[in-house]
Amino acid sequence: MDAAPPDPKGWWTADVPCEEALCDELAAVLAEKFGVGAQVEKAWVRLYLPASLAPLRWKNDLEETVAHFRAAWGLPQTDPVRYGFCEDMDWNARWKEGFTPLRVGRRLVIVPSWETYAPNPNDLVLTLDPGMAFGTGHHETTRLCLRWLEDVIAEWPHPAHPSLLDVGTGSGILAMAGALLGFRPVIGVDNDPDAVRIAEENRAMNPEAASVRFLTGTADTVPGTFSVVVANIQAGPLMAMAEALARRVEPGGRLGLCGLLSDQVASVMSRYEQVGFHAENRHQDGEWVLIAMRARS
């Protein structure tokens, strides 16, 4: 890896072995950390870095990031990262090939910004360019949240529009979909300024979601309470922010927690019961689970 620099038009590659159920999560972490594309395969994630970067500038950071990710998910640290080099590849073109229009639920259609789509009469079309932020609708957790939001508003018993807070908004997909479905007002919050910037760029492509506000911060920095709160993050952060989320849900309000694997559901559910929620039901897509909860009145 420390030989003479390669062709500057090529790409260094790093193949990181990973459990299949966590590949999308790892890809999102690596893409955000290094600001480049990550290719997801069945049991590994490939990261592409420009050839102009000397390996010593990113290799240690990569292996430290991977080690932290594995430790957080209880994965073995024994599988080595494999390094290589690709000649002259247009990564952006290849990455976009895998992101095509996607129907989620009954009415929502997620359309990448570089595609054209002829909607059906009842379609709610959301144009999206996720950039480095997580959230395209193709991951199971995002689909679970979108379907849940559609169900919540379809069953909403009050004439007034329910308000919505999306915690960890990423690309802004859940907040903007909520606006299209009829939630008012809608706020998306993320502690990553780059994610907020991407979400604002996506909002500009969706005039129907112009009322959505995006904030940099955490649930604790958002004022007020909401009829519905959704958080598609991971089990660890969800456990840590239980009190903060409880303060944002109005009495009798709804809370959707996602980013959980099946064996994490019981501990997360128990934690939120301690802060004033009871579970209504759960929804599963592959290995991933969304817990639908309600705040005590």
| Co-location of 286 and 147 in the same domain | yes
For residue 249, tell me if it sits in a domain.
Answer: yes
Residue 129 lies in a domain: no
Q: Are residues 190 and 251 in the same domain?
A: yes
Range of the domain at 177: 134-295
Dihedral in degrees, nearest 10, Cα atoms 141, 144, 146, 151: -160
- The arithmetic mean of pLDDT across residues 101-113, rounded, is 86
Per the DSSP assignment, residues forming a β-bridge with 17 are 44
Tally of structural domains, the chain = 2
For the chain, counts of helices (H) and of strands (E): 9, 14
> Looking at the structure, do residues 160 and 267 belong to the same domain, yes or no?
yes
Question: Residues 146, 37: one domain?
Answer: no
- Between 74 and 222, the higher pLDDT residue: 222
Query: Phi/psi of residue 157, each to 5°?
Result: -85, -10
pLDDT of residue 6: 41
Taking residues 19-32, what's their average pLDDT? 81
Same domain for 64 and 138, yes or no, is: no
Classify residue 150: in a domain, yes or no: yes
CATH number for position 143: 3.40.50.150
User: Are 152 and 284 found together in one domain?
Assistant: yes
Q: How confident is the model at residue 4 (pLDDT cuts 50, 70, 90)?
A: very low
As a 3-state breakdown, the chain gives helix, strand, coil percent values, each rounded to 5, of 35, 30, 35
Pair 239, 197: CB distance under 8 Å: no
- Domain membership of residue 1 (yes or no) is no
The CATH number assigned to the domain holding 69 equals 3.30.70.790
What is the C-alpha to C-alpha distance for residues 15 and 13, in angstroms, rounded to an integer?
7
| Kind plus residue range of the DSSP H or E element containing 232 | strand 226-232
Both 141 and 280 in one domain: the answer is: yes
Which residue is associated with the tokens 């209504």?
280
Q: Tokens representing 49?
A: 């870095």
pLDDT of residue 247: 97
Give domain status of residue 58, yes or no: yes
pLDDT number for residue 138:
65
Note the pLDDT tens digit of each residue in 41-65.
Answer: 778 888 888 777 777 778 888 998 8
Which position has the token pair 């919505």? 164
Kindly state whether residue 25 falls inside one of the protein's structural domains.
Answer: yes
Same domain? For 167 and 73 the reply is: no
Encode pLDDT of 220-241 as tens digits.
999 999 999 999 988 888 999 9
- pLDDT value for 205: 92
As a whole-number percent, the residues of the chain with pLDDT over 90 amount to 47
Tell me whether residue 103 is in a domain. Answer: no
Same domain, 66 and 158: no
Lowest mean pLDDT among 82-86, 101-105, 127-131: 127-131
- Tell me: pLDDT of 277 over 90: yes
Which residues are within 8 A (CB) of 75 and not within 5 positions of it... i.e. 6 or more apart?
A: 18, 19, 22, 69
Residue 82, helix vs strand vs coil: strand
Residues 144 and 261 in one domain: yes
